[in-house]
Amino acid sequence: MFRTVLYFLFILFFLSSCHRYHKVLEITHTSELNGVASASGLAMYGGKYFVIGDDTPFMFLVDSQFNVKKKWQFFPADTSILRIPGNIKPDFEALENQGDSILLIFGSGSKSPQRDVFVRINPEDPNNVETYSMTSFYQHLRNQKELEGKELNIEGVTIRKNKMYLFNRIPSLIFEMDYSAFLEHILDGSTLPSIETHTYKLPSVNGVRAGFSGATSVNYIPYLIFTASVESNDNSTSDGAILGSFAGAIKLKDDRLTSSIRTIQLNTGSKPVKVESIGVETIHSDRHLTVILVTDSDGKESMIYRCKMSW
């Protein structure tokens, strides 16, 4: 009898554990981002969301109900044109809150020098903008052996405990470095930071491999959170048919990246979307979050989603 009770309790514990950590990416709220045609980066600050696009000189402020409240120009461009032409656009693909009220914006580096751009903005004073060239730094990344013969295309950035992680689209690489060393190089031309490169294999859709598209993190949960998307013609200069998108998490152990990666495909219930960035809105536990996703709709109004995410 005693053994039977123990066995029953074990089964209950096992089933509850499986339920708790079942992979979920469930959309709970959806909205269009009016006037934002090419959303590529999302960062959260002060209960609000900041959104950038890959071919727009504007940053957009979005409230918690997903209303676009204001926009301001942070990059010089002809504002009579809604979208900066592809041959000259800075291709802003990565946006993150540094953690001390500074928003960081990275050009993709996929075309030099047009896309070798780094911007810092204080969201409390968004007209105070600092812009820097990253040509030497991006060449430093291109020289890493894991990128030899392949394209640099930075799509996501996150900073956790003074470590900066840059996410390259395809091949799916994460460049890890000391953030302070990176910033010193950018601000005063000091020594290039040491780089540690991590390679990951992402899932496929219809035989086409996904590539990183966005990233974020929170200091007190041991994961890097990311998005990835799949396009039939996936390169840094042209858009292909959108095949699907994923969100996922990479485990950290003792603040070091591991090879443990979990991915969850986003199901919108209609045609596939291209998710470009992610932010963590609420932490329910280490592996159960409420997240915000934004999409690039390739010229149409961008979408924003609130989702339950667990793994």
Checking if the pLDDT of 15 tops 50, the result is no
Residue 12 · residue 5 · CB < 8 Å: no
Q: Are strands 92-97 and 68-73 parallel, antiparallel or unpaired?
A: unpaired
Contacts with 109 (C-beta within 8 Å, 6 or more apart), sequence order: 115, 116, 134, 138, 141, 152, 153, 154
Three-state DSSP class for residue 65: coil
Residue 115 · residue 90 · CB < 8 Å: yes
**CATH 2.40.37.10 assigned to 24-310:** no
Query: For a pLDDT cut of 70, what percent of the chain falls above it?
Result: 90
Best CA proximity match to 276, nearest among 247, 249, 255: 247
Quick: pLDDT tens for 224-281: 999 999 998 765 555 678 999 999 999 999 999 999 999 999 999 888 999 999 999 9
Please tell me the predicted confidence (pLDDT) of residue 210. 98
Quick: pLDDT tens for 50-73: 999 999 999 999 999 999 999 999
Checking if the pLDDT of 5 tops 70, the result is no
Best CA proximity match to 198, nearest among 137, 261, 125, 155: 261
Please tell me the predicted confidence (pLDDT) of residue 18. 45
Residue 232 tokens, joined: 């039939």
Phi, psi at residue 147, to the nearest 5°? Answer: -105, 5
Could you tell me the residue ranges of all domains in the chain?
24-310
Quick: pLDDT tens for 72-116: 999 998 877 778 898 899 999 999 998 768 999 999 999 999 999
Amino acid at site 115: R
pTM: predicted TM-score of the whole model, two decimal places? 0.91
Quick: pLDDT tens for 125-162: 888 899 999 999 999 999 999 999 999 999 999 999 99
Q: How far apart are CA 152 and CA 106, in angstroms?
A: 13
Residue 290 · residue 282 · CB < 8 Å: yes
pLDDT, average across residues 290-301:
88
